[in-house]
Amino acid sequence: MFTQLATFKMVYEVQNFSLAAQQLFIAQPTVSSHIQQLEKYFGQKLFQRQGRKDIQPTEAAKVLYRQVNQLLDDWQSITTTMRQTIPEARYQVKIGASQTFGIYRLPPIIQALNQQFQNGDFNITMANSEAILKALSAHKLDFGFIEKPIATSGVSRYEYGADQLVRCGDLTSGTWLIREPGSGVAHYTKMYLQSANIKPAKVLQVANNELIIQLLKLGVGQTILSDQAKPKGVPHEVLPPAYLRHFYFLSRDHLSANLQQVAAYLLKRSQAN
């Protein structure tokens, strides 16, 4: 039954049978068969077809998805506990970070974790804040560091240091370089533009901090970014106190014993800084 539940989880997340089959490296008829077996077992429809390819999860599927994630967490905990009886057993630690935090704050944290948890294998992902939260909710990450005050059920959030934002670039330019929707910086940029009643003449949406920095160096437009990220020699002005933002540490609520130790260490490290 674990195989069918794993198939269901993938179908639920991608909402497409063909794509789920590709992700799982199995044939599409096998995916359909697994879903049909679950529907027969539970006596409820799990997906409604929308057009030729897309599907929509039913209310029963939403309930099952939450329970499957919990079941997989419990299974991971059981597996980890059993492996702890084996000397030098290794375990995975999956961490996601938004771009500013990942570049300027995360390296010394990973250095410390690597020294503290010798048996941990660390998998680091960088994405925007909303993508990190979504991955945690889907149990694809264990921990996250984000730049935007967002939350969801099943994930705990803690303040993890502060970051001053600045307005940087050609401050007379009507061109604004703005991160993609879901980014923490994009959230504060939108807030600043509205509060200052600024209507950009032109917007360049750029989903990468380093590319924005290189464009600023070339004299292209202006932007809002972290004081830590501002390029040397490029004009800037510090924004008001409302733009001294917090970073946030996210942790899934149900963790194995090893991951609970990692979470406790990260929280203790934050309090010490």
Residues 197 and 65 in one domain: no
Confidence (pLDDT) at 87: 61
Residue 60 has a pLDDT of 93
pTM: 0.70
Which residues lie below 8 Å from residue 26, measured CB to CB, with a gap of 6+? 7
Give CA 105 to chain center in angstroms.
16
* pLDDT above 90 for 71: no
Shared-domain flag, residues 98 and 144:
yes
Biggest alpha carbon distance in the chain? 66
- Give residue-wise pLDDT tens across range 73-97: 777 777 777 766 666 678 999 999 9
Q: Are residues 168 and 50 in the same domain?
A: no
CB proximity list for 146: less than 8 A, separation 6 or greater: 97, 98, 101, 129, 132, 133, 184, 247, 248, 250
Structure confidence at residue 175 (pLDDT): 98
Q: List the beta strands (DSSP E) in 170-268.
A: 175-178, 202-205, 222-226, 236-238, 244-252
Among the three residues 30, 48, 82, which one is the final residue of a domain in this structure?
Answer: 82
Do residue 124 and residue 224 come from a single domain? no
CATH number of domain containing 169: 3.40.190.10
**206 and 261 assigned to the same domain:** no
Please list the residues that pair with 94 across neighbouring strands: 123
Q: Rounded to whole angstroms, how far apart are CA atoms 35 and 136? A: 24
| The two three-digit tokens of residue 219, written as one number | 């004299």
Indicate if 18 and 67 belong to the same structural domain.
Answer: yes
The closest alpha carbon to 176, from 147, 209, 198, 208, belongs to 198
Q: Are 196 and 221 in contact (CB under 8 A)?
A: no
Total domains in the fold of the chain: 3
Domain boundary among 47, 82, 117: 82
Mark whether 118 and 174 lie in a shared domain: no
Proportion of the chain in helix, strand, coil states, percent, rounded to 5 = 50, 25, 30
204: amino acid identity, one letter:
L
Name the nearest CA neighbour of 170 among 239, 228, 227, 223: 223
Domain identity same for 201 and 239:
yes
Domain's final residue, options 15, 50, 82: 82
Q: What is the mean pLDDT of residues 48-61?
A: 83
pLDDT confidence bin for 6, thresholds 50/70/90:
confident
Does 195 share its domain with 127? no
Q: Are residues 97 and 48 in the same domain?
A: no
Same domain flag for 95 and 211: no
Same domain, 133 and 237: no
Q: Structural domain of residue 257, as residue ranges? A: 89-161+246-272
Count Cβ atoms within 10 A of the Cβ of residue 259 and give its class: 0-12 exposed, 13-18 middle, 19 or more buried.
buried
| CATH code, domain with 10 | 1.10.10.10
